[in-house]
Structure 1
Amino acid sequence: MTRKIIVGSRRSQLALTQTKWVISKLQVQFPEVTFEIEEIVTKGDRILDVTLSKVGGKGLFVSEVEDALLDKRIDFAVHSMKDVPSELAAGLVIGAIPKRENPLDCLIFKTATDLENLPEGAIVGTSSLRRAAQLLHIRPDLQMKPIRGNIDTRLRKLQEEDFDAIVLAVAGLKRMDWLDKLQHPYVFLDEQTCLPAVGQGALAIECRDGDTFVQEILQTLQDDETSNAVIAERTLLKALDGGCEIPIAGYATIKNNEITLRGIVSSVDGQISHQIKESGQNPHELGLKVAQKLIDLGAKEIIQGLRNNG
């Protein structure tokens, strides 16, 4: 019997590409199911002239999508995991986390070829406080300038405006097949230079709790290693009560069933940077452990100070 499933997605080119990738994988295994995409515009998509940290609130790119799930207008939604708040709306669950794409950040230059040879006082485009703080920690002379929009918009701004470099996620560039098309020098920033955002490079497929059919088909896309890494990272974020208005980074890797989690909490100017790296086998316990060690170093004071000044 044919069944139709409505899939929610943001309207951006990257979001639609990710959603179509998920559908293509499911279609192979469930040819009897018809999938239809419903495009949803979120608050984060509507407000493009203000940095995300100033818009405030959590779930800027998912709240309207979650409303559509709860209203049963859609059956599941595909998100970039880094956009998903550490606490989901009541009644919703992550149905699957597929295998992660490259989680690193990419620094794309107008004329330079690496971070070291950017000129003194170079202008770097990023609206991410996490990226800005970590780059300023290494190069405090850099000028950080907000930049919003989809990938091609930001690349056009690099070419036409006064940016010397911009920072984009490697995962988005790869999913959009942009890396081979770049006409500018670029480098991947290793995790010692710029630790990724929590969940960066991973997808979150969200559905209603109790929707057995949808949950069962989504589980065919589940990658347990990615899931455990993301659980550790998101536990860290939740324990710190972090959001896009705080320079927090967290990235977990797994080798021989052991999870290694690095966490960073920085001041906006990058001058204060608390870093912790720990290993363990339980992702939830590891996330809590790294969070507590960061708190012991003074992370809560940084976070509270930023919230009070925001």
Structure 2
Amino acid sequence: MGEAIVKQHRHVEIEYQFKESLGDKNLTDPLWKMPDKGVFTEDFLNDLSEQRCDLVVHSWKDLPVEDNPRTEIAATVEREDVRDLLLFKKGSREKLGQGSSLHILSSSPRRMYNLPEFLRQYLPATTGHIQFHPVRGNIPTRMRKLLSQPEVDGLVLAKAGLDRLLGADRLPQRAEFAEVRNFLRSALRECD
């Protein structure tokens, strides 16, 4: 976001401040079980209202639905890729045709709702139950959790987040399976 601002307003100097929100600090509870609205935004909106900063940057998905009378949305950047990636462990392939349960890391109610039907449609061999396990943290943390939990078969990630971590141009919009496989191997190596 800072680069986009400076590109449009070359005279602006940006001083970055980094701070963890309640949602960043509490990696145990699934977000949908947290009692507070704005677990990723409220602390920052308070800083903005009390003039400890001039601007805060959030993902749209983290903003509360209700408008905040203390602040306004001044700008937005072009939306990134909205697709999700489902990463499977190598050994999970055998489970697909056996009717075994698949254990997937995701804390997103949207993904939990949509993924079972998607898998039945696009991976017809997926006949077993899909069980979700909560996961929180940044992408390297989530990858470590995938690799360290023997009972877990896969992990769902936002493609845009992986693009930002690894460089947006490294995985084409539409890629052949071999390209994706090599890309994911690279991602796993970088998370070690």
Q: TM-score range by the shorter chain?
A: 0.7 to 0.9
How far has the Cα of 1:118 moved from its partner?
8.8
> In structure 1, how many angstroms separate the alpha carbons of the residues matched to 2:67 and 2:160?
23
The alpha-carbon distance between structure 1 residues 24 and 184, as it changes in their structure 2 partners (threshold 3 A), is closer
Within 2, Cα distance between the matches of 1:62 and 1:159? 30
- Paired residue for 2:146, among 133, 151, 158? 158
1:59 equivalent among 38, 63, 74:
38
Distance 1:87 1:25 in 2: 27
Out of 135, 146, 152, the residue aligned to residue 147 of structure 1 is 135
Residue identity matched to 2:72: V
Give 5+ residue unaligned stretches, structure 2: 121-127, 172-182, 188-192
* Aligned partner of residue 101 in structure 2, secondary structure: coil
Q: Which 4+ runs in 1 deviate beyond 4 A? A: 116-119, 137-140, 178-181
> Which whole-Å deviations, capped at 9, do the CAs of 1:167-197 have from their partners, x for residues lacking one?
0111111111266652289xxxxxxxxxxxx
The answer to whether 1:91 aligns with 2:70 is yes
Q: 1:124 is matched with which residue? A: 104
Bigger mean CA offset, 153-162 vs 58-67: 153-162
**Secondary structure of the equivalent of 1:89?**
coil
Which structure: greater strand fraction?
A: 1
User: Aligned letter for 1:83?
Assistant: D
Please say if 1:23 is aligned against 2:2.
yes
Cα deviation for residue 153 of structure 1 reads: 0.8
| Identity %, equivalent residues | 34
Q: Name the SS of the counterpart of 1:183 in structure 2.
A: helix
| Post-superposition offset of 1:87 | 1.4
Give the match for residue 104 of structure 1: 83
Say which SS state the counterpart of residue 92 (structure 1) adopts: coil
| 1:94/1:118 CA distance change after superposition, 3 Å | farther
Residue ranges of structure 1 left out of the alignment (5+ in a row): 1-21, 186-310
Is contact 1:108–1:184 with CA below 8 Å preserved after alignment?
no
Contact 1:107 1:166 in 2 (8 A): yes
The letter of the residue matching 2:142 is R
Question: How far does residue 134 in structure 1 lie from its aligned partner after superposition?
Answer: 1.7
Q: Which letter does structure 2 place at the counterpart of 1:103?
A: V
The structure with the greater share of residues assigned to helix is 2
TM superposition shift of 1:119: 6.0
Shift of 1:136: 3.4
| Change in 2 beyond 3 A, CA 1:59/1:52 | same
Rate the CA distance shift 1:119–1:174 in 2: closer, same or farther, 3 A. farther
User: When the two structures are superposed, what TM-score results if normalisation uses the length of structure 1?
Assistant: 0.48
- CA separation of 1:28 and 1:124: change in aligned 2, threshold 3 A: same
